[in-house]
Amino acid sequence: MRKHLRRDGLSWTVASVTIIRMGVPPKELIRFLKRFDPAIRELALDARELVLKVLAPSNESVLDVYVLAMNYGFSERMKDQAVYIGVYAKHINLGFYRGARMDDPEGVLEGGGKQLRHIKIKSQADLGTPVIRDYLRRAAPDGSTRSRILKTKIYPSRRTPAPADQSSSGTGAPIQASH
């Protein structure tokens, strides 16, 4: 079986796995973000870059459901997820999977569930505060094992259909990108 290699300047494709350079947002993520105002798109991408930098190395998964959600953790296992970014029309949420157990000396965490807490971010100024980096550093679960193979998984969107020229397997299986 022969594998085809295609390079478009930002990524390489071998069979169905796309290898993305760290920091370069996947094309599918850019497509999902198109429905948002430019300021929110930029805020979401800047938050993504910050999370990838502070939590490096980190796996990423992107789901476009009722909210565009980007999840970050240290393996593909759900129990190793630490942070998520939820993209909304007028803000983003920087969320913490174990937020209910985190100290909140600044009183910035919102939410009342058993585990999740988030910080609502409406501007670049909000994202740039030292508090954000501090909370991101503390978000990693104790004893989490960091994967040596980093992947970005893009789950097919039911909300933002793929352009007509892209074929889909229709299986609902994620598209994987390693970086």
Residues 6+ apart with CB under 8 A from 115: 97, 98, 99, 100, 101
- What local confidence, expressed as pLDDT, does residue 150 receive? 66
Q: Is residue 168 included in any domain, yes or no? A: no
The verdict on residue 44 lying in a domain is yes
Classify residue 94: in a domain, yes or no. yes
- What pLDDT was estimated at residue 153? 84
Report the number of distinct structural domains present in the chain.
Answer: 1
Using the Cα atoms of residue 99, residue 155, residue 175 and residue 85 in order, give the sign of their dihedral: negative
**In a domain? residue 7:** no
Question: How many Cα atoms are found within 13 Å in the side-chain-facing hemisphere of 104?
Answer: 14
What is the structure's pLDDT at 146? 66
**Residues of the chain whose pLDDT is less than 70?**
1-23, 141-150, 158, 161-179
Q: What is the pLDDT of residue 164?
A: 60
The pairing of strands 17-20 and 11-14 is antiparallel
Within a domain: residue 93?
A: yes
- Range(s) of the domain holding residue 133: 25-156
Q: Is residue 149 part of a domain?
A: yes
Q: How high is the mean pLDDT of the chain?
A: 80
What local confidence, expressed as pLDDT, does residue 83 receive?
97
Please give the torsion angle defined by the CA atoms of residues 99, 104, 110 and 112, in that order, rounded to the nearest 10 degrees: 60
Name the token pair of 33: 């973000």
pTM equals 0.76
Asked if 71 and 61 touch (Cβ cutoff 8 Å), the reply is yes
